[in-house]
Structure 1
C-alpha cells in the first residue's frame, strides 16, 4: 500500500509537469506518404472469424450484435475530438471484467470508421490476453518493442487499412519498471510519429493487480473503466474512478457482461 501511495504522489507531480506534453500529443496527426508506407508495410492480421465469434468478438461482423460497440466507438470519437484526446487507456477494477474483449471489439468497430487510424496496444504485461482473444501468435511482445529489441514495424499487425495491433506472447519481466522508463515513453512517441494514429487504445492491467497501471496512466489523456455487471461491486467502481482520476481524465465507465432488453429499441445487449 505504501508503494502505491508513493506511486500516486509521483504520478500526480508528473501529470502536472506533463500536461503540456499530452496537449502536444493531442494535435491532429499529419498524414504523409511515408505514414501510408509504414501502415502498408505492417504484417496483415490473420482473420479467423469462427475463433473470434467463440471469443465474443462480435464486432468482427456488422449488425445487431456489433451495435453496442459501434455506439461506444462513436462516443469515444466524440469525447476525444471535443477534448483533443488521443491516448485512451482501457482499464478495469479487477480481473475478468472483459477489458481485452472490449478492446478487440472496438478495434473491429474502428476499422469500419473511415478517415481514422487507430493503434491498439496491449500493455497488460503481467497477464496479457488480447492476443488470445484475437487468436494471434507472435514471436515477440510489446515489452521487446519498448526495450528497443524489436521495431514496431517488425512486430505490429494491421487489420484492414485503419487499425494496427501491438500484442504480446506472454508475461514480461519487471513490467512496472519498464512502463515507468523514459525509453518506453520515447518508443511510444516514436511509434505515434511513424504511424500518426488519430487514436491509440492501450489495454492495461487491472487496477487491483499491480502498480503497473499507476506507472502508465500518467502517460495517457484519458481512461475508460470497464466493470462487469453483477460481479464488480459499486464500491469497487467508485474506488476505481477515484484512483484513475488521480492520474488522468476519466472518459467514462462501461458496464460489460450485461444482458437486458430495451423496450424502445428491441435490442438484446450482451
Structure 2
C-alpha cells in the first residue's frame, strides 16, 4: 500500500505537466492520405466466430446480446466527445472482473460505428489475455512497440476498416520500466500521429496488481472502471474510483457479470 501511495503522489506531480500535452493532442487531427494508407496497410484480423462466441465475445454479431455493449459504446462516445477525451483506460479494482472481455466486445461494437476509427491496445503487460480472447497469435508484443524495437505498422492488426489492435504474445519481464518510460510515451504519440484514431483504448492491469498501471493513468484522458457483480466489494470499487480520480478523469463504472431483467424490454442482460 505504501508503494502505491508513493506512485500516486509521483503521478499526481507529473500529471500537471502531462495535462497540457494531452490538451494539445486532443485537437482533432486532419485525416491525410498517409493515415488512410497506414490503416489499409495493417494486417487484417482473422475471425473465428465460433471461438469468439465460446469466449463470450457476443458483440461480434448484431442482436440482443450485443445491445448492452452498443449502449456502452454510445455512452463512451457521448462523454468522450463532450469532454474532448481521446485516450481511455479500461481498468478494474481486482482480477477477474472481465475488463478485457468488455474491451473485446466494445471493439466489435465500435467496428459497426462507421464514422469513427478506434485503437485497442493491450497494455496489461503482466497478464496479457486480449489476444487469447480474440483467438490471435501475434509475433510480437506491445512491449516491443513501446521499447521501439518493432513498428506498430508491423505489429498491429485491423478489424474491418476502423478498429486496430495491439496485442501481446507473452508477459513482459519489466512492465514498470516500459510503461513509465519516455520511449513508451513517444511511441504512443507516434501511433496516434500515424493513425489519427478518434479513440484509443488501453487495457491495463488491475489496480491491485502493481503500481505501474496506476502511474500509467497519468497518460490517459479518462478511465472506465470495470467491477464484477457479487464479486467486487463496494469498498474496493470506492477505493478504485478514488485512486483513478487522483490521476485522471473517471468516465464511469461498469457493473459486469450482472444479470437482470428489464421490465420494459423483458431482456436478459449479462
Matches within 5 A, 1:2-13: 2-13=2-13
Residue correspondence of structure 1 range 179-198 to structure 2 within 5 A = 179-198=179-198
Q: In the aligned structure 1, how far is the partner of 2:113 from the partner of 2:217?
A: 26
1:255-270 residue pairs with structure 2 within 5 A?
Answer: 255-270=255-270
Identify which range, 44-53 or 16-25, moves more after superposition.
16-25
> Is it true that 1:41 corresponds to 2:41 in the alignment?
yes
The Cα offsets for residues 232-255 of structure 1, whole Å up to 9 and x where unpaired, read as 011110000000001100000000
Alignment of 1:1-270 (within 5 A): 1-270=1-270
Alpha-carbon distance in 2 for matches of 1:213, 1:264: 40
TM-score by length of 1: 0.99
Q: TM-score scaled to structure 2, two decimals?
A: 0.99
Give the deviation of 1:194 after TM superposition.
0.1
Structure 1 CA distance for aligned equivalents of residues 15 and 267 of structure 2? 41
Range 259-268 or range 91-100, more displaced: 259-268
Distance 1:159 1:136 in 2: 12
Is 1:80–1:86's contact at 8 Å kept on the other side of the alignment? yes
Q: 4+ runs of 1 displaced by more than 3 Å?
A: none
Where does the alignment leave 5 or more consecutive residues of structure 2 unmatched? none
Deviation of 1:158 after TM superposition, in Å, equals 0.2
RMSD across aligned C-alpha pairs, in angstroms?
A: 0.7
Structure 1 residue 215: Cα displacement? 2.4
Contact between 1:176 and 1:215, CA under 8 Å: does it hold in 2?
A: no
| Whole-angstrom distance in 1 between the partners of 2:16 and 2:257 | 36
What is the rounded CA distance, in whole Å, between the counterparts of 1:5 and 1:93 in structure 2? 15
Tell me the matched-pair count. Answer: 270
